[in-house]
Structure 1
């Protein structure tokens, strides 16, 4: 099953150890034998430090620029990532496992020159420290989902559960069916590539949407709770869809046992974690109250977060589901306000790494129509983008009996594909199921839905709030620091 399931949170599970880098480092010899570990560790650390410096600089510059033109700062973090990544400055590069760049990036050359190790050696360790950054990015989205879980109301999520379920199911079925059939009958594609592309249309990036909702102070609104609930369910459904299409691409047939396993394990994990968590939460609070060392609440909470995230990963679900569940459970305790305040600095440290890396890994060169091989992909991309947007926007209009709710905001909140869509493209590319034009089309769809959704979400919420004085006053009184947080 592990060969079939390729969840995004576990793609860097094979992080190199220092001894794995040994064959790549030819220069260090002590006593006639290569002393690789002693030489590699400082160089890897130096690469990580340089990368983090670039990431935080891109995050702050992009975020500040967007904040000053009234756009969500998270959009600036994504744009900053594009600027320093594969599409522009080539400061942050994330090569495939086992691949070594023919031409070193600026950061790699700078690392080799300033440390005296040489460019060849810097290239040899660049994949290792890039994977370290990828792990930190994954930790960033875990922390983000934990923070979102803390700010969410479990009772409200349960209350909007039926609406969220409808939104999630329609948001998966509508774009999948429309995209797959359109590619087969309009573009005359074979079934497996069409199904793979249709599956990529089902994704929703809960991380990006949740961050924008938090910035707009709409996370606790009814629309925000429905979006978050639907995005969580959408993530579970996305894992199932990914398992199915990966199996289809590999074997030519769907393994029903995998689907059944994923459905059962998802339900048992989510429901079981919440039920057991609510039972044990009083004991957790009592234990924290007895601790006398620094970080008593934060570190104890992170133990819970990482434990549930590990369990989710171990049973082939997403680690972010475990983190979100931990946030929901701990939000029900008397310590939740204090914990929210303590998590903010942690989120400020790790979350920007995630968003900048998403942008850095995105190759916007596929948007260039002057390159002949890009044109077919752009035509297919135009179709996929239309289906991707309409297929999610209609989900908001499936909610009936609540005339006051902002249905358009719910639909727009489900649009961004983000890193989830890139995972589908990556799995399809690795399986050989996707042609170059179709792979480029999927990437273009992911890029545009990711970058268009945040400003659209702000517009639809602001237009609906213009007639609500109480909420407008609350937003107007918020400080710039609060919004940034």
Structure 2
């Protein structure tokens, strides 16, 4: 417990300092929080031991991790279960408040354009990310050589390619909204279309995550039962998993939206703002746990509860009341995600080369996948490129997905580092691209 208290104290200080430095440099604060996590993590400063006592392995036990991995050849988690529990709690409140921030009326007004943009971005990003992993992972990394020996249909549903496809799908609504707000373009046709597309993109990304987890579980079960030897993937079982995932998400969303007013009425019986906000967050955690029990990711349940309550007059009060909790927990999440990055693995030549290719494809997939549907929906080339550029940044959801993949053992440290690299670069390059396109004095 003493170690946990010390670790959280250091993480809070480092995350806040990193976020402030990033904000001073006009960069999103999550970049600073991620960087702070990398610096203090077990693979960097947190792994430096001092003395002969309890700190001999470093504050975050980096020396012990390296010794264990060298001895056994097995990858170990870079954080303790308790510390990762804090990060999980932060991811739940992050997605719950993201759901609360969703403007359903605006979403419905531009739903068709947003739907086309979101679908195009998700499909393009997933396919390019997945195929990039299938074709290039065996080339750059010996441990993935087995992918080249598998039929394409089996290789595409392997855990690492699936997660690399999923990681590249989700646009960061928060980063995009901040850019549009600063440029006073939130209410422009392109701005509203970007936000509608980003919301749909996030929802579709979470659905793809749910389906992907089910597919990975199904294929692993098939392998253990000899399915891989027989040379086929049970697409019927996978299809059922996909239908179940979509059905649970859609059913929970519709029920939540329908009974939102009744939930609001029940919550108002408690009078106190703090009690209402606390109970609302409790409901989000209950639904998150239910989704986990159903084989879906917790964060999807949290988002659905936020989406349901976004239709009520309690929305702003819950946001304001939970803001201090968000401010405290969410930087911890991003910092812990940064701590999971093995700097030595990230700096290796194969990771840098593959990461650069993966990142370029992630940018191309979003621009092309979102701009082309925009052209067919009536926007000109400039307007379509603005929408495509606005969909480039990946952020919190991509990091959550990467963290889930690493903690579940689906991703290696190298692949996790590649996902972090893609998130960082797309977050940095998107703002100047979007600002430059909006500086062109032409309507979209």
TM range (shorter): 0.7 to 0.9
Match of 2:428 among 434, 437, 455: 455
Aligned residue for 1:87, secondary structure, equals: coil
Q: Which residue of 2 aligns with 1:165?
A: 119
* Matches for 1:360-375 after TM superposition, within 5 Å: 360-368=339-347, 374-375=348-349
- Do residues 283 (structure 1) and 262 (structure 2) align? yes
- Worse-matched range after superposition: 220-229 or 337-346: 220-229
Q: Which residue of 1 aligns with 2:415?
A: 442
Structure 1's 275 and 194: CA in aligned 2 closer, same or farther, altered over 3 A? Answer: closer
RMSD: 3.6
What is the CA distance between 1:71 and its match in structure 2?
0.6
- Do residues 398 (structure 1) and 372 (structure 2) align? yes
What is the CA distance between 1:465 and its match in structure 2?
4.1
Q: Which residue of 1 aligns with 2:401?
A: 420
Aligned residue for 2:167, secondary structure, equals: coil
Contact 1:151–1:331 (CA under 8 A) maintained in structure 2:
yes
Q: Which residue of 2 aligns with 1:236?
A: 207
* Matches for 1:454-473 after TM superposition, within 5 Å: 454-466=427-439
- Worse-matched range after superposition: 414-423 or 454-463: 414-423
Q: Which residue of 2 aligns with 1:130?
A: 80
Q: Which residue of 1 aligns with 2:72?
A: none
Distance 1:180 1:305 in 2: 36
Question: Please, what TM-score do these two structures have when normalized by structure 2?
Answer: 0.76
- Larger-Rg structure: 1
* Matches for 1:17-416 after TM superposition, within 5 Å: 44=1, 46-90=2-46, 104-106=57-59, 130-158=80-108, 159=111, 160-181=114-135, 189-191=148-150, 196=158, 197-204=160-167, 209-216=172-179, 221-245=192-216, 247-248=218-219, 251=223, 252=228, 253-293=232-272, 295-368=274-347, 374-400=348-374, 401=377, 402-403=379-380, 404-405=383-384, 406-414=386-394
Distance 1:205 1:298 in 2: 33
Contact 1:184–1:194 (CA under 8 A) maintained in structure 2:
no
Structure 1's 256 and 193: CA in aligned 2 closer, same or farther, altered over 3 A? Answer: closer
Contact 1:205–1:420 (CA under 8 A) maintained in structure 2:
no
Contact 1:161–1:229 (CA under 8 A) maintained in structure 2:
yes
Contact 1:84–1:92 (CA under 8 A) maintained in structure 2:
no
Contact 2:210–2:296 (CA under 8 A) maintained in structure 1:
yes
Aligned residue for 2:304, secondary structure, equals: helix
What is the CA distance between 1:221 and its match in structure 2?
3.8
Distance 1:306 1:221 in 2: 30
Distance 2:305 2:407 in 1: 29
Contact 2:98–2:303 (CA under 8 A) maintained in structure 1:
yes
Structure 1's 246 and 272: CA in aligned 2 closer, same or farther, altered over 3 A? Answer: closer
Aligned residue for 1:408, secondary structure, equals: helix
What is the CA distance between 1:414 and its match in structure 2?
4.6
- Worse-matched range after superposition: 211-220 or 273-282: 211-220
Contact 2:399–2:423 (CA under 8 A) maintained in structure 1:
yes
What is the CA distance between 1:461 and its match in structure 2?
3.2
Structure 1's 355 and 288: CA in aligned 2 closer, same or farther, altered over 3 A? Answer: same
Contact 1:226–1:410 (CA under 8 A) maintained in structure 2:
no
Distance 2:8 2:413 in 1: 29
Distance 1:165 1:381 in 2: 24
Distance 1:356 1:441 in 2: 18
**How many aligned residue pairs are there?**
389
Structure 1's 146 and 278: CA in aligned 2 closer, same or farther, altered over 3 A? Answer: same
Contact 1:63–1:73 (CA under 8 A) maintained in structure 2:
yes
Distance 2:304 2:432 in 1: 30
Q: Which residue of 1 aligns with 2:73?
A: none
Structure 1's 175 and 136: CA in aligned 2 closer, same or farther, altered over 3 A? Answer: same
Distance 1:194 1:425 in 2: 18
What is the CA distance between 1:264 and its match in structure 2?
2.0
C-alpha offsets along residues 392-426 of structure 1, whole Å, 9 cap, x if unaligned?
Answer: 44322232323335233244135884342354456
Q: Which residue of 1 aligns with 2:68?
A: none
Distance 1:91 1:51 in 2: 12
Distance 2:122 2:249 in 1: 16
Q: Which residue of 2 aligns with 1:122?
A: none
Unaligned segments of structure 2, at least 5 residues = 63-76
Structure 1's 328 and 467: CA in aligned 2 closer, same or farther, altered over 3 A? Answer: farther
Q: Which residue of 2 aligns with 1:25?
A: none
Question: Please, what TM-score do these two structures have when normalized by structure 1?
Answer: 0.70
C-alpha offsets along residues 46-66 of structure 1, whole Å, 9 cap, x if unaligned?
Answer: 222212111111111101111
Structure 1's 307 and 92: CA in aligned 2 closer, same or farther, altered over 3 A? Answer: farther
Structure 1's 310 and 153: CA in aligned 2 closer, same or farther, altered over 3 A? Answer: same
What is the CA distance between 1:161 and its match in structure 2?
2.9
